Structure 1
Amino acid sequence: MTTPLLSVQDLSVAFRQDGRETLAVDRVSFEIAAGETLAIVGESGSGKSVSALSVVKLLPYPAAHHPSGRVLFKGRDLLAADDAALRKVRGNEITMVFQEPMTSLNPLHTIERQIGEILKLHKGLGDTAARARTIELLTEVGIVDPESRLGAYPHQLSGGQRQRVMIAMALANEPDLLIADEPTTALDVTVQAQILKLLKDLQARHGMAILFITHDLGIVERFADRVCVMTGGRVVEAGPTRDVFAAPKHDYTRHLLAAAPRGEPPAADATAPVVMAADDLKVWFPIRRGLMRRTVGHVKAVDGISVAVRAGQTLGIVGESGSGKTTLGLALLRLIGSRGRIAFLGRPIDGLKSAEMRPLRRDIQVVFQDPFGSLSPRMSVADIVGEGLEIHARDVTAAERERRVVAALEEVGLDPAVRFRYPHEFSGGQRQRIAIARAMVLSPKFVMLDEPTSALDMSVQAQVVDLLRALQEKHGLAYLFISHDLKVVKALANDLVVMRAGKVVEAGPAAEVFAAPREAYTRALLAAAFRLEADGRGVATG
């Protein structure tokens, strides 16, 4: 047998805090050959990401340590390597794509500078060559009109676009091993397919190995050569992907394969009051060029859209990354400027100032796409979830506030005992549940859910969908549900709006749109999401 490129042997990872030690990974072993793809799957908190971060020693040492194990890369134990040796490996021979791009990209640097810095440091390229290679990389990962994006900052890109920039940075040096931690989490289904094809093409061209961390078993089935299934910090099943999917041996593997959002949204009631509505809503961002920074045009992120969300019902907003989905939601919540009429419970709010909007914030809540970026690292879970009560329900006693925090955490499937811990101590999926609890604790009337299940594994997705439906039915909540995961949208949405380039492509009752889409773009999205055969009359591009 040939020597594997990477061999992880009997790896354990423990975390020390307040004199206690918690074992997060327990004697995990796996190997990856050059040119091979190994996927590690499991629920949030199973130890997937911790195992991957251990490969290049990116855990918070000395709080983290390894009671046992070796990580052999090209025969050398990286766990025993010094910082100088690791610096030569990181970003050059081994690169990573992290789960949350907004926390990985420097908010003060342009996209060109961040990618160019890697090319200059590791490849020795000059400014002109680095710029040309940056444009080439952005094109490869599906960024439209990359030249216009070179001067953009991370906050000016959609979540999916930021993730594609991260992938471009990771691929810049043509590494021997790419560790991809949920690399397609923030991407719509058509761009997922493009990115996965890109990774496969680069892998075939350069013999690159890929360690793929994901909760999306559909991607694993199509993408990985072999798979390891983890739970509770241990590998419970491993083998060729085809064999594991065809005949899973472990009960946990069978549980994962059977997990998926199911059910239907509560029945629509045409007589229910309209909670949130917009008429001819526009959000245009100026394009400024030249020495005087004159406006030469506009990016029409939302261009004349009208929507209405009724009590007890869900309006699903779908479309590719950059289509304007999140911008539409932020405009409805008056978190960004817009033109057009916006009404909440029949009251016009488009002209209200910030102070006038403040009393309405209790009834209008949001769950953002990136849970780590929206949770304060300096606050405990109890403080994060309870902060809204302190601001909007000052008459509530401390004991009642504590009771509500506990109840909210239980509703989203978290042990209330964790409320004294901090966000960095949780997995991505657990952080998303904390964000949902923070929104729900105030019993709002309208909730914007921006990709609320994107960071969650399949079984937790199903739990969250069931939770959202139950809360909606109990309290008559109105949801604006933004997602690229059409399977989740199908289980939740009464009505559906399909967006592209800031405009509505198709809209109507969700059941009708899913059953008989009229537009080629909608058919392409559904084909990618449900692995149907496209009819060839239209192709989605990202």
Structure 2
Amino acid sequence: MSLLDVRDLRIAFRQDGQLTEAVRGVSFTVEKGETVALVGESGSGKSITALSTVSLLPDSAEVSGSVTYDGAQMIGADERELRRVRGNDISFIFQEPMTSLNPLHTIEKQLAESIRLHQGLTGTAVRTRILDLLEKVGIQDAESRIGSFPHQLSGGQRQRVMIAMALANGPELLIADEPTTALDVTIQAQILELLADLKRDEGMSMLFITHDLGIVRRFADRVCVMQQGEIVETGPVAEIFDRPQHPYTKMLLAAESTGLPDPVAQDAPEIVSTEHLKVWFPIQRGILKRTVGHVKAVNDATISVRAGETLGIVGESGSGKTTLALAIMRLISSEGQIALEGRRIDGVKSKGMRPLRQSMQIVFQDPYGSLSPRMTVAEIVAEGLKLHDTGDDRPHREQVADILREVGIDPGAMDRYPHEFSGGQRQRIAIARAMILRPKLVVLDEPTSALDQTVQVQIVELLRDLQRRYGLAYLFISHDLKVVRALSHKVLVMKRGDVVEAGAAAQVFDAPADAYTRALMAAAFDLKAAEAIPA
């Protein structure tokens, strides 16, 4: 008997009297000790299928078919039975950790809640279990992190906390919905190794949802390819990857960011530069909040980026990549020199920085979190036009329509809200919001990490086109080194606040000088080097 058996699953959503079918006759099994991967583009029905296994769909969903776990029918099961299974026998790792973690509770409190509820541990035993879990999922210095709130952790650290919560009660079936999306390549390899060890040691089964086909090839036993709510192809991983039959599967396997960026003009002016930039955060203790040390987020960074040039910034989570970018944007305090178009801005006060913000824009990692759900796309994209004079006297809606066309969004949809768009479309909207002010410098903080590979390729091509057209300088922060290679002219490698290597992209990728850089490259391109990361 299969541990999870899904037969002819159909899911439709009723809204305004209309019934929209999202999953159409899906059937698959997960055997004990087996990992099955669900792959496909955003909106193909992967996550909805996974949520239906323990009836986590909204009331508007109409579900038919059969979903049995260990022989027990889940569709129509009473709430008491579902509560027993959820989080105990079946655990979830969700894609968006910031929306899954309570922002008002510490990490310790959130982990403790699950452990006490399902395991009955109390007192110091709970704390010991929490520290063990955090160390297992790769959070360094877990003792000092246990009292942190979610907003005080990096995206990768929050995802690791989510994984720790899912593993806390030793589930038989782990449903992992894009569990490594926010993780850099080295931690991704370590987490996958951890999940593989748990599967082997505890006989755990896994339903793995991802857009990263490289992970699927290495990690899964079988794969189900979904398109528009249907499974179009299924089989053993080796067979699907080596001999794909369906055109959609072939298209997914062929989707990869390739090529190189356009060369930078020899006379291109310098847009941004830093000299000996340093960001140290004080560690304060006691009632008087005495400074007892510092978190050295960025130690000594010297960079230069010209018009039409991309500097890729890479390194593990917590290495200082985003902190460096925020300091350059003057969004956090720093020491050292920062120049924008030849003008020193490190000493400029907040009021003086305001007119310079037009030239410095940022696109964040999570487009859903960075776009206001209460504003229409037109309002979101036009927001900067109310504060800055771009020299364009046309009505704001006309300017919004033009920039939406440039990023591949139908201007007719500008009065819709962010939740009505796919992840890739939301990221295009976030790019449009930055580009409408015609900036000189754009910080791209993991702009493709939450997107499936086919959409990643589209976003990379869009960024190349915009850079070519407007001579934009990019600071491109990413853990996906394949995308970094496709976009970057120069690469900066960071480790625990230090710049360990910097140079032309071809040199850093093809002949890395530092052992840490070599380990990063190995982890990125063959995912076999998690243990090779120098301490």
Report TM bin, short chain: over 0.9
Q: Map of 1:130-169 to 2, 5 A cutoff?
A: 130-169=126-165
Counterparts of 1:321 and 1:180, CA distance in 2: 20
2:444 matched to 1:453? Answer: no
- Cα deviation digits, residues 5-45 of structure 1 (max 9, x gap): 11222222223334433322222222111211111111122
Q: Map of 1:374-389 to 2, 5 A cutoff?
A: 374-389=370-385
- Cα deviation digits, residues 434-493 of structure 1 (max 9, x gap): 322322233221110001010111111111111101100100001000001110000111
The aligned amino acid for 1:108 is L
Counterparts of 2:183 and 2:256, CA distance in 1: 19
Counterparts of 2:157 and 2:180, CA distance in 1: 11
Return the match for 1:227 from 223, 228, 239.
223
**SS of aligned partner of 1:113:** helix
Return the match for 1:422 from 392, 417, 422.
417
Counterparts of 2:55 and 2:435, CA distance in 1: 37
2:517 matched to 1:522? Answer: yes
Return the match for 2:533 from 525, 534, 540.
540
- Cα deviation digits, residues 225-283 of structure 1 (max 9, x gap): 11111111211111111111110000010001111001111103343111112221111
**Other-structure match for 2:458:** 463
- Cα deviation digits, residues 339-362 of structure 1 (max 9, x gap): 222121122222223332222222
Counterparts of 1:322 and 1:335, CA distance in 2: 18
Change over 3 Å in CA distance of 1:433–1:35 after alignment to 2:
farther
Counterparts of 1:23 and 1:244, CA distance in 2: 27
Structure 1 stretches lacking a partner, 5+ long: none
What displacement does 1:121 show?
Answer: 1.5
2:38 matched to 1:45? Answer: no
**Other-structure match for 1:56:** 54
Change over 3 Å in CA distance of 1:137–1:56 after alignment to 2:
same
Q: Given that residues 190 and 541 in structure 1 are in contact (C-alpha distance below 8 angstroms), is that contact kept between their aligned partners in structure 2?
A: no
Stretches of 4+ aligned residues off by more than 6 angstroms: 394-397
The aligned amino acid for 2:533 is A
TM-score, normalised relative to structure 1: 0.94
Q: Given that residues 390 and 438 in structure 2 are in contact (C-alpha distance below 8 angstroms), is that contact kept between their aligned partners in structure 1?
A: no
Counterparts of 2:177 and 2:130, CA distance in 1: 22
- Cα deviation digits, residues 74-107 of structure 1 (max 9, x gap): 2223231233332222211111111111121122
Counterparts of 1:485 and 1:457, CA distance in 2: 12
Q: Given that residues 134 and 164 in structure 2 are in contact (C-alpha distance below 8 angstroms), is that contact kept between their aligned partners in structure 1?
A: yes
**Other-structure match for 1:494:** 489
Change over 3 Å in CA distance of 1:358–1:321 after alignment to 2:
same
What displacement does 1:4 show?
Answer: 1.3
Counterparts of 1:289 and 1:136, CA distance in 2: 25
Q: Map of 1:1-12 to 2, 5 A cutoff?
A: 3-12=1-10
Counterparts of 1:78 and 1:252, CA distance in 2: 31
Q: Given that residues 515 and 534 in structure 2 are in contact (C-alpha distance below 8 angstroms), is that contact kept between their aligned partners in structure 1?
A: no
Counterparts of 1:36 and 1:532, CA distance in 2: 21
Change over 3 Å in CA distance of 1:410–1:37 after alignment to 2:
farther
- Cα deviation digits, residues 173-209 of structure 1 (max 9, x gap): 1111111111111111111111001001111122211
Counterparts of 2:397 and 2:22, CA distance in 1: 29
Q: Given that residues 45 and 426 in structure 1 are in contact (C-alpha distance below 8 angstroms), is that contact kept between their aligned partners in structure 2?
A: no
Q: Given that residues 189 and 528 in structure 2 are in contact (C-alpha distance below 8 angstroms), is that contact kept between their aligned partners in structure 1?
A: no
Counterparts of 2:479 and 2:151, CA distance in 1: 19
Return the match for 1:322 from 310, 318, 321.
318
Change over 3 Å in CA distance of 1:196–1:541 after alignment to 2:
farther
The aligned amino acid for 1:57 is S
**Other-structure match for 1:195:** 191
**Other-structure match for 1:117:** 113
Q: Given that residues 44 and 430 in structure 1 are in contact (C-alpha distance below 8 angstroms), is that contact kept between their aligned partners in structure 2?
A: no
Counterparts of 1:386 and 1:57, CA distance in 2: 40
Return the match for 1:246 from 242, 248, 251.
242
- Cα deviation digits, residues 388-446 of structure 1 (max 9, x gap): 2344359867x843344344344444444443433334443443333223222332211
Counterparts of 2:527 and 2:423, CA distance in 1: 30
Q: Which moved more, 1:399-408 or 1:24-33?
A: 399-408
Return the match for 1:485 from 477, 480, 484.
480
Q: Which moved more, 1:433-442 or 1:247-256?
A: 433-442
**SS of aligned partner of 1:69:** strand
Return the match for 1:472 from 457, 467, 480.
467
Q: Given that residues 432 and 455 in structure 1 are in contact (C-alpha distance below 8 angstroms), is that contact kept between their aligned partners in structure 2?
A: no
Q: How many percent identity over aligned positions?
A: 63
Change over 3 Å in CA distance of 1:533–1:120 after alignment to 2:
closer
Change over 3 Å in CA distance of 1:393–1:43 after alignment to 2:
farther
- Cα deviation digits, residues 488-515 of structure 1 (max 9, x gap): 0001111110000001000011111111
Would you say how many aligned residue pairs link Structure 1 and Structure 2? Answer: 535
**SS of aligned partner of 1:135:** helix
Q: Given that residues 390 and 437 in structure 2 are in contact (C-alpha distance below 8 angstroms), is that contact kept between their aligned partners in structure 1?
A: no
Q: Map of 1:295-306 to 2, 5 A cutoff?
A: 295-306=291-302
The aligned amino acid for 2:454 is S
Counterparts of 2:344 and 2:18, CA distance in 1: 54
Q: Given that residues 92 and 173 in structure 1 are in contact (C-alpha distance below 8 angstroms), is that contact kept between their aligned partners in structure 2?
A: yes
What displacement does 1:317 show?
Answer: 0.2
**Other-structure match for 1:441:** 436
Change over 3 Å in CA distance of 1:541–1:112 after alignment to 2:
farther
Change over 3 Å in CA distance of 1:19–1:302 after alignment to 2:
same
Change over 3 Å in CA distance of 1:396–1:269 after alignment to 2:
closer
**Other-structure match for 1:65:** 62
Q: Given that residues 41 and 228 in structure 1 are in contact (C-alpha distance below 8 angstroms), is that contact kept between their aligned partners in structure 2?
A: yes
Counterparts of 1:358 and 1:56, CA distance in 2: 50
**Other-structure match for 1:344:** 340
**SS of aligned partner of 1:271:** coil
2:33 matched to 1:35? Answer: yes
2:22 matched to 1:24? Answer: yes
Q: Given that residues 389 and 396 in structure 1 are in contact (C-alpha distance below 8 angstroms), is that contact kept between their aligned partners in structure 2?
A: no
Q: Which moved more, 1:73-82 or 1:159-168?
A: 73-82
Q: Given that residues 6 and 27 in structure 2 are in contact (C-alpha distance below 8 angstroms), is that contact kept between their aligned partners in structure 1?
A: yes
Counterparts of 1:332 and 1:436, CA distance in 2: 19
2:123 matched to 1:127? Answer: yes
**Other-structure match for 2:400:** 405
Counterparts of 1:426 and 1:213, CA distance in 2: 20
Structure 2 stretches lacking a partner, 5+ long: none
Counterparts of 1:224 and 1:417, CA distance in 2: 41
**SS of aligned partner of 1:392:** coil
Return the match for 2:263 from 267, 278, 281.
267
Counterparts of 2:85 and 2:485, CA distance in 1: 44
TM-score, normalised relative to structure 2: 0.95
Change over 3 Å in CA distance of 1:471–1:222 after alignment to 2:
same
